Amino acid sequence: MIEVGNFNQLKVGRKSDLGYMLTDGKDDVLLHFKQATRELKNDEKVNAFVYFDAKGRKCASMIEPYVTLEKVGLVKVVDVNENIGVFVNINMPKDVLISIDNLPYNKSLWPQIGDEVLVKLKVRKNSLLAKPLNMEEIKELKTNDERLYEKNICHAKVCRISESGIYAYTEDYDVIFVSKKNMRQKYRLSEEVEITISKVTDEGYIGTLVLQKEFMIDTDAQAIIDYLTKHGNEMPYDAKSGADIIEKEFNMSRKAFKRALGSLYKERAVDFINGKTVLLAKK
């Protein structure tokens, strides 16, 4: 049986005026010439992605889509229809709808054209739809052991909006909750935000979108400067140091440490001499 929304192993049955008719032995599906990546021969087997066209008919493509029923990914919003939802580009001839059922009730909180939404595909009747991932699905995508710490500043995308606040995920798929009291405005789904971690609990990360005085500077960079000052203006750690020692000495991830160290180097606040990081005197 041909499965819409996934790749299927199909055989070329014949060539028509519009393209190639592919078959699984029971059902046929049209592969338009524009969706074929090369010339095909009768009885040749091909791996083709199957989708619905604008009339609800099954069509095939040899082009790789951004997402499938099994593969999640970021897709860009290309149109907004307030009556039915938003459309996203999955690299197929027909854009796919994120239904109004999977979007906030307040339409001003919907993703806007150009925003990227993390989705997976699903089939409903004769339509292929995109569904935003929920928080648990996002957490399952995390593959590394990097942790976030208090005062870390994280770039994230809003993935859920509730009455109590918002949830956002980082590029490493850490999910952060920000309560309304730590927001100064409303944020839309998939909007990019810069969150400062304010608390780490057994249940997860809590952050703030309100910059307080102590957060006005890069807190990670300041932590490195403080460490250097306390240790004679030099330390045996740099961007090549291991994650374990960085976590132990600075209470931050290796990624955050490297980013902060790079920022200090660009500002000529530190230099790297004989395998050591040295704090430079202010000019």
| Domain range list for the chain | 7-61, 73-132, 151-211, 219-279
Residue 283: the pLDDT is 54
pLDDT of residue 216: 40
- What is the CATH code of the structural domain delimited by 73-132? 2.40.50.140
Q: Using CA atoms, how far apart are residues 212 and 222, in angstroms rounded to an integer?
A: 15
Structurally, at CATH architecture level, domain 219-279 sits in Orthogonal Bundle (1.10)
152 close to 220: Cβ distance less than 8 angstroms: yes
Residue-level pLDDT at 218: 65
* Same fold: 73-132 with 219-279: no
pTM: 0.73
Q: For residue 100, what are the contacts with CB-CB under 8 A and spacing of at least 6?
A: 83, 84, 85
3-state secondary structure 90-147: CCCCCCEEEEHHHCCCCHHHCCCCCCEEEEEEEEECCEEEEEECCHHHHHCCCCCCCC
Place of tokens 């005085």: 213
Measured over the CA atoms of residue 116, residue 118, residue 121 and residue 126, the dihedral's sign is: negative
Instruction: Write the class of the CATH domain 151-211.
Output: mainly beta
A 10 A CB-CB count for 149 gives: 17
Q: Which fold has domain 7-61?
A: OB fold (Dihydrolipoamide Acetyltransferase, E2P) (2.40.50)
pLDDT by residue for the chain (283 residues), tens only, comes to: 899 999 999 999 999 999 999 999 999 999 999 999 999 999 999 999 999 998 889 999 999 999 999 999 999 999 999 999 999 999 999 999 999 999 999 999 999 999 999 999 999 988 899 999 999 999 999 999 889 998 888 999 999 999 999 999 999 999 999 998 888 889 999 999 999 999 999 889 999 987 654 444 467 888 899 899 999 999 999 989 998 999 889 888 888 888 889 889 988 899 999 889 999 976 5
Residue 100: predicted pLDDT: 97
**Cβ pair 95, 89 in contact under 8 A:** yes
**Inter-residue contact 78 to 88 (CB < 8 Å):** yes
Radius of gyration (Cα) for the chain, nearest Å? 25
> Using CA atoms, how far apart are residues 246 and 143, in angstroms rounded to an integer?
20
Alpha carbon distance 64, 47 (integer Å)? 10
